[in-house]
Amino acid sequence: MIELTDVHKAFGENRVLRGVNLTIESGTSMVVIGGSGTGKSVALKCILGLIRPDSGEITLDGRDVTKGDRDAFLARFGMLFQGGALFDSLPVWQNVAFRLLRGSLKRPKAEAREIAIEKLRRVGLKPDVADNFPAELSGGMQKRVGLARAIAAEPEIIFFDEPTTGLDPIMSGVINELIREIVVEMGATAMTITHDMTSVRAIADNVAMLHDGVIQWTGPVGEMDTSGDPYLDQFIHGRAEGPIEAVR
């Protein structure tokens, strides 16, 4: 279980997180929605320790994430970055097997390659892309490689940062479906941040909406449409009028 308690983070004058409280139960899929620049990515990076919160507590299974063995902590996570964040100096299979080629999870090269190819197949890519470089792939394929890398070491927890941004609707559908399938078959805990409502409905067990630095609403995806929360309603229906000020 991941638990954020009263997490604050400011960048200079800009107070991005102003007391975030959020619980993600093990084995469930939480989707965090919210407008651009509301701090969704910051919250996610705080959990991973890529950004240090100014105050508040973040725990994983009851233990403070900032304490203890960092390697062991990170080995439990997989992450799909927004732009893929593939290492462009390495061929696709070495990107996927990155964690398996070094550090505590290191294994023989041939075995790592085999696992990489298996994971590539899992995300719908043929083995012949394994030796290509990331720059030679389309956006959708790069996303899939990023997904294969995130699941390569069989993590317990997977984070997805805007998994469908920049993809066409059909490819978005494919990625959403893949994420759902993988999370279910691995029994992983998932946290996704997105503002794509199709994604939300496809991936989420639970939804949380981040607005003005706090969680405005949280609940099961089924209750999202009947929440009665004016902020959430405005967001999921994409209305220009409402309590959330849109900059014109």
Please count the CA atoms within 13 angstroms of the CA of 29 that sit on its side-chain side: 22
Q: Which is nearer to other proteins, 10 or 74 (CB)?
A: 74
Among 75, 171, 214, 221, binds other proteins (CB under 8 A): 75
If one asks whether residue 11 binds other proteins (CB under 8 A), the answer comes out as no
108 binds other proteins (CB under 8 A): no
Contact between 60 and other proteins (CB under 8 A)? no
Binding residue for other proteins (CB under 8 A) from 8, 18, 23, 48? 48
Angle between helices 139-151 and 109-122 (to 10 degrees): 120
Stretch 161-220 residues interacting with other proteins (CB under 8 A): none
**For residue 90, what are its two tokens?**
């390495």
Position 242 contacts other proteins (CB under 8 A): no
CA distances to 9, 16, 54, 112 from 12, rounded to whole Å, are 10, 10, 11, 43
Minimum distance of other proteins from residue 167's CB (angstroms): 17
Nearest to 77 by CA among 179, 157, 147: 157
- Binds other proteins by CB under 8 A, chosen from 18, 35, 85, 133: 85
Contact stretch for other proteins (CB under 8 A) within 55-63, 78-86, 171-179, 240-248: 78-86
Residue 77 interacts with other proteins (CB under 8 A)?
yes
Stretch that binds other proteins, among 56-64, 81-89, 117-125, 217-225 (CB under 8 A): 81-89
Tell me how far CA of residue 185 lies from CA of 37, 40, 141, 159, 217, in angstroms. Answer: 32, 26, 22, 16, 28
Contact 192, 72 (CB under 8 A): no
Q: Does residue 79 interact with other proteins by CB under 8 A?
A: yes
CA torsion sign for 68, 71, 72, 75 is: positive
Q: Whole-angstrom Cα distance, residue 38 to residue 209?
A: 10
Task: Give the residue with the Cβ less far from other proteins, 183 or 207.
Answer: 183
Closest to other proteins by CB, 104 or 226: 104
- Of the candidates 74, 88, 219, 80, the one whose C-alpha atom is nearest the C-alpha of residue 162 is 80
What is the distance of C-alpha 235 from the center of its chain? 20
Task: Tell me the closest approach of the beta carbon of residue 30 to other proteins, in angstroms.
Answer: 18
Binding-site member from 102, 107, 109, 239 for other proteins (CB under 8 A): 102
* Contact between 175 and 123 (Cβ < 8 Å): no
- Of the candidate spans 15-23, 27-35, 43-51, 202-210, the one that interacts with other proteins by CB under 8 A turns out to be 43-51
Pairing of strands 189-193, 157-161: parallel
Cβ 244 to other proteins shortest distance, Å? 25
Residues lying near other proteins in the complex (CB under 8 A): 45, 48, 50, 70-71, 74-75, 77-79, 81-83, 85-88, 98-99, 102-105, 149
